[in-house]
Structures are given as structure tokens and as C-alpha cells.
Amino acid sequence: MSLNLLYALAGVALCGIGLAGFLLLNHLLRRLLAFNLLGSGVFLVLVGLAQHGDGPDPVPQALVLTGIVVAIAATALAIVLIRRYFHLTGRTSLDTGNNAGDGGGES
């Protein structure tokens, strides 16, 4: 098994760990952590799988750089929303049963 493939498979395992965490955890920050793990797994697969042949392939590396920036943008947006949500409700998870909040509309 080549070096790259080893890391690609590690990426697969990370995807599994991240996905499990994403689906099973309720705490919003923990979910965010799981999302980041899942993202890292995907990036590892992307680079590890692509680098067959001779030498590193710059294209997936550039894609992953883009992906990392998108991921931190999403993470930062989520943190802002989570903090604000916590500030207003004191809650750190979304599952609070069907409270009236769902239907409250405008004005």
C-alpha cells in the first residue's frame, strides 16, 4: 500500500468518525468540531487519492486550500450564530422539542 493511499484511507476513517459525531452529538459546538473533522477527512481523501503517478499533484492541493478557507468561513459563521443563539436562549443544542419558536412569523 502506497503512502498516499494510506492517508486516503485515514481520510475515509476520519469521514466516518466525523459523520458519526455530526449525526449523534447534540451540542452545537461539538457538531461543529465533527464537521471540521469530516472536512479534514474529505480533504485527505481528495489529496491522498489524487497523488498517484509521479510527484505531488498541485491541483488537489489548491482545491484543498480553497476548501480550508471555505470551511473556516462556514465555521466562523456557525460560531457567530451559535454564540448569539446561546446569548438569547441559553441553549447549546437545537433539539428542544417543538416549542412555539418554529412558527413565530414576522412582525
Partner 1 sequence: MSGWLDGLLVVSLLVTAVAVLLSRDLFRAVVMFMAFGLLMALAWVRLQAQDIALAEVAIGAGLTGVLLLDAVSHFRRARPQHRSRGTE
Partner 2 sequence: MGFVVALAAAVLGAAGAAAPSELSDQLQASLARSGVEHPVTAVLLNFRSYDTLLEIGVLVIAGMAGISLASTNALEDPALRSADSLLYALQRWFVPVMLLLAAYLLWAGADRPGGAFQAGAVLAATGVLMRLGGLPMAFIRPGILLRLGLVLGFAVFLLVAVAGALNGEAFLAYPVTIAGGLILIIEIGLTFSIGMILLALFVAAPVTDEHEPEEGGGL
Partner 3 sequence: MSQWLIAGLLFTPLAWAALSLLLGFRQGRWLSWLGMAIQMAVSLALWFAVMEGGGFYYALGGWNAPLGIALRVDGLAVTFVLLTAAVGTACGLHAGVYLDADKPWQRYFWPLFWFLWAGLNGVWLGADLFNLYVSLELISLSAVGLVALGGEAAALRAALRYLFAALLGSLAYLLGVALFYGRFGTLSLAVIDQLLVGGEPALIVALLLMLAGLALKTALFPLHAWLPPAHGIARSPVSALLSGLVIKASFYIAARLWMELGDRLGSPWLAQGMGVLGAAAVIWGSWLAFCQPHLKQVVAYSSVAQIGYLFLLFPLTFAVAEPVSLLAQQGITLQVISHALAKAAMFLAAGNLILSVRSNRVKALAGVSHFLPFSLFSFGLAGVSLMGLPPTGGFAAKWLLLQASLASGQWWWVVVLLLGGVLAAAYVFRIYRASFLEVSNSDDFYHPPQSLEAIPMILALLALGLGLVAEPVLSVLALPFEVVAAEAVHP
Nearest to 83 by CA among 75, 74, 92: 92
Task: Tell the burial category of 73 from Cβ atoms under 10 Å away from its Cβ (0-12, 13-18, 19+).
Answer: exposed
Q: How far is the CB of 56 from partner 3 (least distance, A)?
A: 13
For partner 2, the closer of residues 56 and 97 by Cβ is 56
Helices (H), ranges, the chain: 3-24, 28-50, 58-89
d(CA 7, CA 25): 26
Number of residues binding to partner 2, judged by CB under 8 A: 39
Q: Which of 45, 59, 85, 92 binds partner 1 (CB under 8 A)?
A: 92
Task: Tell the burial category of 78 from Cβ atoms under 10 Å away from its Cβ (0-12, 13-18, 19+).
Answer: middle
Query: Residues 22 to 61: which contact partner 2 by CB under 8 A?
Result: 45, 49, 52-53, 57-59, 61
For partner 2, the closer of residues 77 and 94 by Cβ is 77
Which partner, partner 3, partner 1, partner 2, none, binds residue 35 by CB below 5 to 8 Å per kind?
partner 3
Per CB under 8 A, 74 contacts partner 2: yes
Q: How far is the CB of 104 from partner 2 (least distance, A)?
A: 9
